[in-house]
Each structure stands twice: as structure tokens, then as C-alpha cells.
Amino acid sequence: MAGYYMSIDIGTSAGHQRMGYIEDGILKMEEVHCFEHEIVEKDGELCWDVEQVYKEIVLGLKKCWKIGKLPIFVGVSAWGSDFILLDKENQRIGNAVSFPDSDTIHRLMAVKEKHPDYFERADSILFVADYLTYLLSGVKCCEYTNVVTTGLADPDKGGWDEEKLETHGIPSRIFPGLCPPGTVVNNLTRRLTEETGYDCIVVRVEANREHPNRIVAEIAEETKFADTDRIAALSGIITMMATGHQFKDPEEIRQYVREDFTSAAT
């Protein structure tokens, strides 16, 4: 499916929305919107301002209308292990706390110890990219490759490690279904369609920007390409383009990625 594919990549201090497309046999990337964000203090906790990040994402989507380049697919990548709890009304419980120096299970335990009622009230849990995808699409799911990096997956079953969760007193009922990269989630919510002036398809890409698309990661290592922001953006774009049947085979993907990295490095 020819057209524009938007990578929404949220790093720990900045966000980038880049449009990928193929023109005259060349894969091109164009930055539509970039913004800074930072950890803020709320209620004595260091937190991600996810609401502000979401507002910036919407602003980037609106810019597409202004420049006359509307994406057919959008996908979100972000930092991996911080999470958001939602109640039965899909309202956020507490803050999106930043835990820079602990693994995921210890992050969960820290919240459980400080706020024992949170997990009793919670109906679902989403990691940051999952949460932002939910705000765009209205659909809750956790991207599988990111869940694997958190240590909460059971690779043998292809699902959550329910035994580990229950052992630590974390209710497995709040963990939603898993979906692999390339999963078509939904269209934009009706509210977003009305706000931006257009509709597009929300696709899951590799949610953890530090663990990109396999082919992109292979070519980056092969070519010693080290621009992590470009790698993360291209990862999402390649995954979406593959979902949109832009490539005839993996070798064609490798060629496009190799040419992009070579061009960007010169």
C-alpha cells in the first residue's frame, strides 16, 4: 500500500514524528514534528507527563493536514518498562512514575508497597507505548516484543508469565492481550478523526525503541550505524510498510535500510 507511514517515537527527553515513504525507488524520511519533554515532580514522585506527550502527538498529526501529507498508518515506540494503571472507566490511577534503576517486577512491587489500593482498583495495565496507542485507537493491548524485554512474558506460552505475577502478588487479570509488531489495532478514535480532519490506521510497531525491528537492527550493526533516533524511527516505518505490503521480500527491506543508513551517514 503506497503512501505515507508515520513513526511516533518517544525517547526519554524528546519525541519525533517522522513520515516515511518511497519516492523514485528511494525510501525517504521527513520529520513532521519534534518536541521536548521531561520528567516532572508530582505528589513527591518523579513522573512522565504522558498527557503533555499525547497533546504533542496530536499536534504532530494535525501538522500532516497542513502540509498535505496524510499518513495511512501510524505506530508508536517509546521507552520500555514504565507503566500506567487504568481503572474500569479507563481513567489513569496515580502517576506515570519513572523508575530508572529497577527492573519491571520491582517497579510493580514498589507501586504495590506505596499504594496498596492501586492494584485493587486497577482494571488494566499498559506500558507507555501501549498507553499512547490506546489513546490514539481506543484499543488496549501490549506489544509482545516489549513485554519480553520486561521479563514478564512466558516465551513458551507466548503470553504473560502468570506464575511470576501471582508469586509477587500482582493480579494477572489486569494484564491485557498481547499483540506482535505489525498488528493492525484500529483506526483513530472518532474524536481524533474530528480533531485532525482525517483518519488513518493505528499499527503496533516494536514498542521499545531500544529493541527495534530485527532487520533494521541487523543492518545497523552491520554498517556500524549509531543514530538511535533514526534507527527507532526507521524501525517503526519498516514494520508498518511491511504490514502495508510495500516490499516484495526481506532482501528488498535490507536494501532500503542499508541505503538509508549509508545516505544518512554521509
pLDDT in tens, 195-232: 999 999 999 999 998 899 999 999 999 999 999 999 99
> Contact 142/127 with Cβ under 8 angstroms?
yes
Instruction: Give pLDDT, residue 101.
Output: 67
Confidence of residue 39 (pLDDT cuts 50, 70, 90): confident
> Contact 175/164 with Cβ under 8 angstroms?
no
Residue 139: all three cell numbers together? 484499543
For the chain, domain boundaries: 4-265
Max alpha carbon distance in the chain (Å)?
57
Q: What are phi and psi of 95, to 5 degrees?
A: -100, 160
* Residue 188 DSSP label: P
What is the rounded distance in angstroms from the CA atom of residue 261 to the CA atom of residue 71?
23
Dihedral over Cα of 88, 137, 75, 213: its sign: positive
Q: Is the pLDDT of residue 1 over 70?
A: no
- Mean pLDDT in residue range 145-174: 93
Reply yes or no on domain 4-265 having CATH 1.10.150.110: no
Confidence of residue 44 (pLDDT cuts 50, 70, 90): confident
* Residue recorded with cell 528511494: 26
Cβ neighbours, 10 Å, residue 235: 27
Confidence of residue 155 (pLDDT cuts 50, 70, 90): confident
Instruction: Give pLDDT, residue 7.
Output: 98
pLDDT in tens, 175-196: 999 999 999 999 999 999 999 9
Instruction: Give pLDDT, residue 265.
Output: 84
Dihedral over Cα of 46, 48, 49, 50: its sign: negative
Dihedral over Cα of 150, 154, 159, 164: its sign: negative
Q: How many residues are listed for the chain in this entry?
A: 266
> Contact 132/204 with Cβ under 8 angstroms?
no
User: Alpha helix locations (H) across 162-227?
Assistant: 162-167, 190-196, 214-223
Name the CA dihedral angle for 101, 36, 127, 212, rounded to a multiple of 10 degrees.
-90
Higher pLDDT, 80 or 62: 62
Q: Is the pLDDT of residue 251 over 90?
A: yes
Confidence of residue 266 (pLDDT cuts 50, 70, 90): confident
Q: What are phi and psi of 192, to 5 degrees?
A: -70, -40
- Mean pLDDT in residue range 241-264: 94
What is the rounded distance in angstroms from the CA atom of residue 117 to the CA atom of residue 120?
5
| Residues above pLDDT 90, as percent of the chain | 83
Q: Is the pLDDT of residue 100 over 80?
A: no
